[in-house]
A and B are shown apart, each in its own frame.
Chain A
């Protein structure tokens, strides 16, 4: 019963390419989040969205943008991929104002060559 689905488990892209990472949740959550996970750095928030078409920058938004046209889907866009964006990207979702924590996707490991 997968509830947060990330479209790709592994991706390899070239420097300068535009990259789309997709995330879909089926729990009717208002909030959706994109984190990157790097060894020794933990999880760092890139962007989050608290409603359709609403977004807020996280701690490391540079080089990224997001799109949320429908409640269940949250896309992360790398406008021009660079090697320092090689990482594991995690999508998560939660209800607004509820403190039960997040539900995470299985992650997309992106390698930029």
Chain B
């Protein structure tokens, strides 16, 4: 079955520290992966897609098919990065399968 696993419910770092939010998926085909972010009192919004290979707000994510991972990284965390982050998988359909989310707290 297709599944997305985010093993950390909460990740706490200090400002300026590197950040890595983990995401693993299970799908035997060619996946399409996304990261969504939800800031406090705001709607869920797309952060980035693996297919575009872009960097948004300093975040990057690389698809590793061998490890079935799509970890989200940022070299230097900022306080405004504090939010809920969801990894999502499109397994050959228009439906997205979401992980359980990781709350990132960045302390000053």
| Residues on A facing B (Cβ under 8 Å) | 31, 33, 35, 40-45, 48, 50, 58, 90, 92, 94, 96-97, 99-102, 104-107
Contact call A42/B86, Cβ cutoff below 8 A:
yes
Partner of A106, one of B6, B43, B49: B43
Q: Is the CB of A33 within 8 A of B95?
A: yes
A106-B43, A107-B43 known; A99-B90 Cβ under 8 A? yes
Which residues does chain B contribute within 8 Å of A99, judged by CB atoms? 32, 49, 51, 90
B100, A48: Cβ atoms under 8 Å? no
B45 on the A face (CB < 8 A): yes
Q: Assess whether B95 is in contact with A45, with CB atoms less than 8 Å apart.
A: yes
| Contact partners of B51 in chain A: CB under 8 A | 99
Q: List 11 A–B pairs whose Cβ atoms lie within 8 Å, in order of A's numbering.
A: A42-B99, A43-B86, A48-B94, A48-B95, A50-B94, A90-B44, A99-B49, A101-B34, A101-B88, A105-B43, A106-B43
